[in-house]
């Protein structure tokens, strides 16, 4: 499916209410949060429970909401993409805790959820079965019905990523 | 006559409400009117603990039987302040202690406009804890006045290696 390009100015208008909610979320949880509107880029810094290492979570929102955003853990310069050393290592926990959304896929860290463009095959991710990232809301509905994770606003995405981040220890690689 | 009902929580007045009632209406009928107006308590709950000037009210008595026009009910529900990641402002809910966590989360999610997903609650404790959707609020140690945040409880997404 061909995806029309949404002008950045329109995306900024579309995303603004979600950023407002996400910013309130970050304040509630003491998470460092920066929205760089010109770049349509969101930067947050997370610290593991009892830890001291900063993990740098970056979201990019070009063409949002026609296309899923791009989420990854990156380095302190906010540039690197998918390095295992930038990703937190999940701790396996017994039920009812569910599997982590942080995945080592072909030696690359991936936040494996329908709301992440990088989880799709076209983004070098594992999922061919979801179609393209422009079908992310359909994929989200299917995943949700199957008991898998769903998040369709910026704040909800952050909350789910932090949910699983709190069940990590150290680095993935 | 005008009856004032004060809903008490741990010594504080949480809500107060005045309604006009006929002298010959029963306490039970009054409790039903109050329950309808409050929207978060059932008449039976109100009747379980209802006093006027310290005197316990009997459901079958007419309200003119009592001198007190200022009634008080100590509620036994869990008042929970729920946040949603998509919304800056919280909402307040009054749930029975025996309510299943997953059902409470669905009710809260619906109120915040979620239309799909597997909602649950995460605490504001350090570290935060995701509550078990299959247990009751009481079993999960939710206390009155606690703050919780909605979180999707869906699992990570595996993929086929085939």
Q: Is residue A141 part of a domain?
A: yes
What's the DSSP call for residue B112?
T
Q: Is residue A129 part of a domain?
A: yes
B139 in A contact zone (CB under 8 Å)? no
Q: Domains in chain A: how many in total?
A: 1
- For residue A65, the enclosing domain spans 8-171
Closest A-chain CA to B122: A163
B22 in A contact zone (CB under 8 Å)? no
Q: Which of B154, B158, B160 to mutate to test the interface with A (most CBs of A within 10 A)?
A: B154
Q: What is the pLDDT of residues A137-163, one digit of tens each?
A: 999 999 899 888 999 999 999 999 999
With contact defined as beta carbons under 8 Å apart, do B144 and A134 qualify? no
- Domains of chain B by start residue, with CATH: 2-74 (3.10.20.90), 78-152 (3.10.20.90)
Task: Show pLDDT as tens, one digit a residue, over chain B (162 residues).
Answer: 999 999 999 899 999 999 999 989 999 999 999 999 999 999 999 999 999 988 999 999 999 998 889 999 999 999 999 999 999 999 999 999 999 999 999 999 999 999 989 999 999 998 899 999 999 999 999 999 999 999 999 987 654 443
With contact defined as beta carbons under 8 Å apart, do A135 and A123 qualify? no
Contact A153 B153 (CB under 8 A): no
Global pTM reads 0.90
* Gap between the Cα atoms of B111 and A97, Å rounded: 25
Q: Which of A88, A92, A96 to mutate to test the interface with B (most CBs of B within 10 A)?
A: A96
- List, in order, residues 6 or more apart from A16 with CB less than 8 Å away: none
B129 in A contact zone (CB under 8 Å)? no
Query: Which ipTM was obtained for this model?
Result: 0.90
In degrees to the nearest 10, what's the CA dihedral of A136, A140, A146, A151?
Answer: 140
Q: Sort strands B70-74 and B55-56 into parallel, antiparallel or unpaired.
A: unpaired
Q: Is residue A3 part of a domain?
A: no
């Amino acid at each position: 499916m061909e995806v029309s390009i949404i002008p950045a100015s329109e995306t900024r208008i579309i995303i603004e209410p979600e950023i407002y909610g996400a910013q309130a979320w970050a304040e509630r949880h003491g998470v460092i949060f920066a929205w760089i509107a010109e770049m349509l880029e969101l930067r947050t810094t997370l610290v593991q429970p009892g830890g001291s290492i900063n993990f740098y979570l970056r979201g990019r929102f070009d063409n949002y909401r026609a296309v899923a955003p791009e989420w990854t853990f990156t380095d302190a310069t906010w540039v690197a993409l998918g390095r295992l050393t930038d990703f937190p290592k999940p701790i396996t926990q017994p039920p009812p805790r569910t599997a982590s959304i942080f995945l080592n896929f072909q030696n690359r860290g991936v936040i494996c959820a329908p709301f992440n463009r990088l989880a799709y095959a076209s983004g070098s991710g594992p999922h061919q079965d979801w179609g393209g990232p422009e079908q992310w809301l359909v994929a989200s509905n299917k995943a949700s019905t199957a008991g898998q994770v769903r998040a369709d606003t910026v704040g909800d995405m952050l909350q789910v990523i932090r949910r699983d981040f709190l069940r990590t220890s150290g680095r993935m690689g | 006559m005008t009856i004032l009902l004060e809903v008490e929580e741990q010594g504080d007045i949480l809500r107060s409400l005045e309604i006009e009632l006929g002298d010959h209406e029963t306490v039970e009928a009054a409790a039903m009117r109050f329950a309808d107006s409050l929207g978060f308590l059932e008449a039976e709950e109100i009747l379980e603990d209802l006093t006027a000037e310290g005197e316990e009210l009997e459901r079958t008595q007419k309200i003119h039987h009592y001198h007190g026009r200022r009634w008080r009910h100590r509620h036994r529900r869990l008042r929970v302040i729920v946040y949603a990641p998509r919304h800056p402002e919280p909402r307040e809910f009054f749930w029975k202690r025996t309510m299943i966590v997953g059902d409470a989360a669905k009710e809260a999610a619906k109120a915040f406009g979620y239309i799909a997903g597997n909602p649950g609650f995460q605490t504001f404790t350090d570290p935060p804890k995701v509550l078990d959707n299959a247990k009751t609020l009481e079993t999960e140690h939710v206390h009155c006045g606690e703050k919780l945040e909605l979180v999707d409880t869906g699992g990570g997404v595996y993929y086929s290696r085939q």
